[in-house]
């Protein structure tokens, strides 16, 4: 498009905020929210990539053919449905720009095929999905006029509605991917100030949709909707297919390595817990209670026997002392009588 060439002159009008309904009035399957390219974002002065913003276009999705269809199969194969049945909301030039943008991220994420595929799927859905208007909603735009006098409306910001589980599963597949050169997590560079430690699916997506990160061409307001949550106005949160990091993306593919995915690590078998022994019983009585009662009875008998023995012993001692006293009394007079005669 003419907007790609440095000699193209454009006249940018002031950015305006309009009501949501005026920008994306139709939210239904088979409709786009934006399409094509409308040059650079006038609000961004410095960017690591030359990435044009899309044009406002709340129109039916286009049937792809020839080179555009081939490029879609190469960049976003998950959206391909057949030679004459594949519709999308992106042009050939948009697919080329998307391929370049994904190449930067996938250079790091490709160590984990599931993560790389999930990450690419997020942007393929946002930019090319034939049902784009169902989960996107343009909120800010700008006007431009090309050198040929064509008036266009470019998109500056849009809302993107995802099912919470879709966002969480995509994030979970990537959070363990490491950068071999540093040993750190790749997600740390994709979550801004939060790093890998404080990163969440919401913060991860928010950083992707922040035009100040040097890569995003416009702002995206990601809205994560809980399961069965309703948005209204015909918007249906995206809940696309995702792959766990321990799953192979294709039949001949491989899951992520153990280094990048804890779920792929071999599980250490845990010993099967043995069932507890049956309770100790004597007949129908609790065994411990029976033993305690038996010991109590035995101790009671022994204590009683001890008391009887002690009483008998004392009685014998008393009887023996009594007989001794009697003998002493019987012998004492004789001794007294003999003493004077001596």
What is the reported pLDDT for 342? 45
What pTM was computed for the model?
A: 0.71
Query: What one-character-per-residue DSSP string does 77-101 give?
Result: GGG---TTT-EES--HHHHHHHHHH
Cα separation, 274 vs 156, in Å, equals 64
Cα-based angle 151, 28, 83 (whole degrees, multiple of 5):
85
What is the reported pLDDT for 293? 84
What is the reported pLDDT for 204? 96
Q: Angle of helix 164-174 relative to helix 201-208, nearest 10 degrees?
A: 90
What is the reported pLDDT for 114? 95
What is the reported pLDDT for 331? 67
| Helix (DSSP H) and strand (DSSP E) numbers for the chain | 8, 11
Cα separation, 186 vs 184, in Å, equals 7
Residues of the chain with pLDDT under 70: 1-22, 283, 331-342
Please say whether the beta carbons of 156 and 140 come within 8 A.
yes
Q: What are phi and psi of 40, to 5 degrees?
A: -80, 160
CA 288 to chain centre: 50
Residue 139: other Cβ atoms inside 10 A:
18
Helix residue spans in 131-226 (DSSP H): 132-135, 164-174, 201-208
User: What pLDDT digit, counting tens, does each position of 186-208 carry?
Assistant: 999 899 999 999 999 999 999 99
Cα separation, 7 vs 10, in Å, equals 10
């Amino acid at each position: 498009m003419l907007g790609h060439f440095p000699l193209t002159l454009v006249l940018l009008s002031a950015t305006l905020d309009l009501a949501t309904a005026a920008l994306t009035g139709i939210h239904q399957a088979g409709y786009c929210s934006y399409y094509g390219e409308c040059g650079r974002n006038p609000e961004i002065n410095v960017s690591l990539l030359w990435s044009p913003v899309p044009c406002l276009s709340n129109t039916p999705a286009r049937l792809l053919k020839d080179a555009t269809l081939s490029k879609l199969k190469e960049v976003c194969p998950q959206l391909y449905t057949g030679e004459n049945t594949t519709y999308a909301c992106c042009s050939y030039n948009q697919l080329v720009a998307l391929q370049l943008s994904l190449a930067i991220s996938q250079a790091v994420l490709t160590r984990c095929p599931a993560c790389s595929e999930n990450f690419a799927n997020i942007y393929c859905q946002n930019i090319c999905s034939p049902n784009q208007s169902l989960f996107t909603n343009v909120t800010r735009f700008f006007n431009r006029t090309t050198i040929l006098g064509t008036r266009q409306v470019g998109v500056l910001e849009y809302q993107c509605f995802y099912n919470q589980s879709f966002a969480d599963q995509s994030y979970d597949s990537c959070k363990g991917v490491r950068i071999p050169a540093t040993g750190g997590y790749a997600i740390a560079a994709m979550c801004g100030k939060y790093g890998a430690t404080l990163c969440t699916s919401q913060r991860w997506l928010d950083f992707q949709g922040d035009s100040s990160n040097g890569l995003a061409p416009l702002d995206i307001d990601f809205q994560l909707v809980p399961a069965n949550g309703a948005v209204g106005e015909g918007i249906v949160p995206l809940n696309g297919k995702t792959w766990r990091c321990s799953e192979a993306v294709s039949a001949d593919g491989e899951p992520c390595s153990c280094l990048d995915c804890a779920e792929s690590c071999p599980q250490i078998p845990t010993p099967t817990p043995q069932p507890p022994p049956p309770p100790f019983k004597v007949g129908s009585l609790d065994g411990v209670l029976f033993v305690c009662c038996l010991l109590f009875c035995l101790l009671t008998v022994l204590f009683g026997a001890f008391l009887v023995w002690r009483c008998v012993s004392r009685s014998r001692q008393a009887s023996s002392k009594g007989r001794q006293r009697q003998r002493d009394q019987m012998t004492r007079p004789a001794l007294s009588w003999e003493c004077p005669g001596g």
